[in-house]
Amino acid sequence: MLQTISLFAPQLVLAFFASQLLSTGAFAKKDISVGVRYFAVGVLVLYALIGFVLGQPTGTAFKGALIVDSYSHYMNFFLGMSAAAALMFSKSFFQTEKLDRFEFSVLVLYCTLGMSIMVSSNTLLSLYIGIEMQSLALYVMAAFNRDSLRASEAGLKYFVLGAISSGLLLYGASLIYGFTGSLEFTHIAQVVSEGATPGIIAGMVFLLCGLAFKISAAPFHMWTPDVYEGSPTPVTGFFAGAPKFAAMALIARLLVGPFGDITTQWQQVIIVLAVLSMFVGAIGALTQTNIKRLMAYSSIANMGYALVALSAGTQAGVKGMLIFMSIYTITVIGIFACILQMRIRNGMVEQISDLAGLSKTNRGLAIVLTMFMFSVMGIPPLLGFFGKFFAFIPAMEAGLTWLVVLALVASVIGAFYYLRLVKIMWGDENENEFVQAPKTLRGLAVITALLVFPLLLLPMISIPAQSWISQAAASLF
């Protein structure tokens, strides 16, 4: 019992305090949304760090349903800190838009709990439970602005298409159970090592299709632009970061663990998803006029780059995926932090044309947003360049040079719409009058500036970070 508590202290902390905050908020006689938010941020930081305080224990619990290793410790840290940052960003927006409710903080906690279960899954059943816990919270968050028709539409679309992906997952799991006689990853791996039957391969493909929906990989990306556009901006920023990182981490654990001996079979599926995602995302973004829809297609393309690393099927490939997704998550949080600080007379900035003349009215914000755009483009020496470098090198070492060439072509196409944003900010004349952000939003400037430091201080953080990520990737093998 004590071993289980020490292993899963982070998840137990999240579950306990999320339930307590929900009951406290439900029976409170006055608005306690601000207090709940700060307390939830503290809980998320505790969740991120408690594993290291306890000495990073490793092992399995709940009869092998969940596993704790260096991989899950790294993911818990990154997911917790990302969720805490997203929660802090949401404060200013929701207060300004009169949408501040304690339920949002509770939903973020439950979503993070679901993501934590996902990355620690050791059976197909725990995998599904984690995905559904995360997804149910995200459905509500997408439709959090109940008075907005766009938000309600986004939540409904996400729910309906999410149900389809759940069906794919369950069908794939049932096929694998039927042909292996077990839901446990270790037992499935033993059966697969003796020879994978067509039924097992079919089940694996259905599982990957269901998980591809969660990372919005093409051709399962159809929900992403509409949900990004309709959801409140802080929710969109959260969607683009931590949940996709958790789903990508789960895909890596699933492929390397139970299906590690049939790399040639799943490699083909990952390569197809990667190529489609890179070009659908890059080309689809060219015609967008809404910033959030553009970032949706950008995220589709970036998931393709992460899949390029996984397609190598090696430990270096998993390491490259972790580095790329870590850098991408930091960058996308910074981009949405910048978007949240920009306001015009009619409200929040959403159209790309609204950025015209930003350099003349808020030069500091224009410089920071330009740096983030150059980073996500992969321009050296910013952090995004090294993310793509570590993602593409393992694929080249695995003999997939042609795939890396396609990824570079997609990156060049993608650079066009990022540069268009920079050109509009610095070269176009003002079309809208920017207004000074409320005091509740001005605090984001400090946090945004802090997010810029990783883009500039790579030589100082790269060595210890790479060692940590290498250890996490090695634990899967």
> For residue 462, is pLDDT > 70?
no
Q: What does the pLDDT look like over 33-77, one tens digit per residue?
A: 888 888 999 999 999 998 888 778 888 878 888 888 889 999 999
Contact 228/296 with Cβ under 8 angstroms? yes
State how far the Cα of 449 lies from the Cα of 33, in Å rounded to an integer: 26
pLDDT in tens, 228-246: 888 888 888 888 888 999 9
The residues, any chain, with a CB within 8 Å of residue 203's CB and separated by 6 or more, are 171, 172, 173, 174, 175, 176, 178, 179
For residue 344, the cross-strand partners are 347, 434
Helices (H) and strands (E) in the chain, counts: 22, 4
Q: Which of 19-23, 276-280, 337-341, 395-399 has the lowest mean pLDDT?
A: 337-341
Higher pLDDT, 381 or 10: 10
Domain count, the chain: 1
Query: For the residues 380-409, what does the mean pLDDT come to?
Result: 90
Nearest residue to 335 (alpha-carbon basis) of 378, 281, 372, 374: 372
Q: What is the pLDDT of residue 459?
A: 45
Quick one: pLDDT at residue 138? Answer: 92
pLDDT at 444 over 60: no
pLDDT digits (tens, 9 = 90+) for 102-146: 889 999 999 999 999 999 999 999 999 999 999 999 999 988 888
pLDDT of residue 440: 46
- Name the residue range of residue 374's domain: 2-476
Q: In whole angstroms, give the CA distance from residue 216 to residue 220.
A: 6
The mean pLDDT value of the chain amounts to 85
